[in-house]
Amino acid sequence: MRDGHHEPAGVERPEEWTIEEILELYGDHLFRLCCLYMPTREQAEDAFQETTIRIWKGLASFRGKSQIQTWLNRIAINTCKNHLSSSYFHFWKNAQPVEAIQEEAAAEEEPEDSILAALHSLPKNTERF
């Protein structure tokens, strides 16, 4: 038992674990960590998915200089920080819902409509400027 988690049976070294074993043992913890860093659940899910891919790709290079959970936490935290600093995140952070944009556009159209209606209501013999 390490870090309060049971290691997979018959597997001594973490680099020999499968991604399924790692996610079974640490997946909930890593997802909660992503939820702490990311502002929405959807963004936390994206960061967790990318974390999982990075763990899978890097598992063979894990050298055991730290505990497996420390290594996993660092991958999750770095992934979240990368997401938060990306231009994609900044674009979507400032994005408005479609409904808000439509309401804003409708509000902008109303003054023009009322101006046109007022102009059309002027007597026909009004001089033009």
Q: Specify the DSSP element, H or E, that contains 108.
A: helix 98-121
Q: How far, in Å, CA of 16 to CA of 75, rounded?
A: 18
Q: What was the pLDDT predicted at 63? A: 81
Average pLDDT of the segment spanning 15-44:
91
Model confidence band, residue 9 (pLDDT cutoffs 50, 70, 90): very low
Please say whether the beta carbons of 119 and 126 come within 8 A. Answer: no
Class of domain 14-95: mainly alpha
What's the chain's length in residues? 129
Q: Which of 30 and 91 is assigned the larger pLDDT? A: 30
CA distances 92 to 44, 48, 77, 84, 101, Å, are 14, 18, 20, 11, 14
Domain ranges across the chain: 14-95
Q: Is the pLDDT of residue 4 over 60?
A: no
